[in-house]
Structure 1
Amino acid sequence: MNMIDKTDTEILNLLIENSRAQWQEIGDRVHLTGQAVKNRINKMEKLNIIEGYTLKVNLHKLGKSLIAFITVFMKSSNHSEFKKYILNNSLIIEATRISGDGCYMLKAAVLDDKELTKLLDEILEYGNYKVNLAIENVK
């Protein structure tokens, strides 16, 4: 059972490009009225195809000059405390539980190496880690 059609996919792609686009503007591009676009977006929200809308922030302009990708290797199988730590730490901007090499992949935005070191010292309470630093954002 296909929940969305080609037009819905086009609408999703336009929203991914610009989530602030007006319904009428999207409608002009997919040959629908603004109201029809609104109805399709509402349907996709109810189906949880669209889970929310986000804001892309330039972290460098906020002084967050280092982006670190941290693979965490947990010391124990009790992950609940680590998940609480992740959720309450504003330096960690993305977190995913992974399979393969490691248990979690974290993306952290920090001011400098001193702030990164402090973060890594805190993570050591939960497990070991491997760090990769971003050198260029391609996409």
Structure 2
Amino acid sequence: MVAVDDMNRRILNLLKADGKLTYREIAAKLRRSPSTVRDRIRRMEDYNVILGYAAIVDREITGMKADAIVLADVEDGVSVRDLRKLNGVDGVAEVSAVSGDRRVIIRLRAHDSETLDTIISNKLIPAGLKDVEVRIIMEEIMRFPGTS
């Protein structure tokens, strides 16, 4: 187990804001040695505090212009955890279990609304979703650093 103390939180905050920072750059900002920062980061990686690193991609440039939130419930006999099988499905950006009548929120991204509809019809509903409600995101007002 690794403790997420104040120093580790500061390292994590720096990495969330800019995942390309080097050990030396983080060390300079925190007034620590690069080897201390490296050891802490490696330990957090080893203990799955840091799960990975990702590029934040401009969806407009890549042609992913359709963005939607899908609210749904699961069919009888299907567990919310069964939806892990959606990992790797093109267009599925995230899947979350939530409280309320619709127990699942799925973030979808695609080239156009037709593709969104195809993903919902051919991938999500067959995975065990029901009472599906789709909300098209009209404009993204703000995105927090470290999210995609």
The equivalent residue for 1:39 is 39
Shift of 1:112: 1.4
Query: Based on CA coordinates, which of the two structures has the bigger radius of gyration?
Result: 1
Q: Give the C-alpha shift of residue 31 in structure 1.
A: 0.4
Structure 1: gaps of 5 or more residues: none
Number of matched residues?
137
Report the CA distance shift for 1:83/1:10 in structure 2 as closer, same or farther (over 3 A): closer
Match for residue 8 of structure 1?
A: 8
Which amino acid in the other structure matches residue 131 of structure 2? N
Matched, 1:135 2:135: no
User: Within 1, Cα distance between the matches of 2:125 and 2:111?
Assistant: 20
User: For the residues of structure 1 that align with 2:39 and 2:50, how far apart are their CA atoms?
Assistant: 13
Distance verdict in 2 for CA 1:62–1:6, change over 3 Å:
same
Task: State the alpha-carbon separation in 2 of the partners of residues 46 and 55 from structure 1.
Answer: 21
Residue 51 of structure 1 is matched in structure 2 by 51
Q: Report the equivalent of 1:95.
A: 95
Q: Structure 1-normalised TM-score?
A: 0.86
Asked if the contact 2:102/2:131 (under 8 Å) is kept, the reply is: no
Matched residues in 2 for 1:30 and 1:109: separation?
Answer: 37
Give distance in 2, aligned partners of 1:83 and 1:43: 27
Taking the TM superposition and a 5 Å limit, the aligned residue runs for 1:7-86 are 7-79=7-79, 82-84=83-85, 86=86
Query: Which amino acid is 2:91 matched to?
Result: L
Q: Is the 2:72–2:104 contact (alpha carbons within 8 Å) kept by the matching residues of 1? A: yes
* Structure-1 separation of matches of 2:29 and 2:83: 45
Identity, % of aligned positions: 21
Higher RCO, 1 vs 2 (CA within 8 Å, ≥6 residues apart) = 2
Q: CA RMSD in A?
A: 2.0
- 1:17, CA displacement in angstroms? 0.9
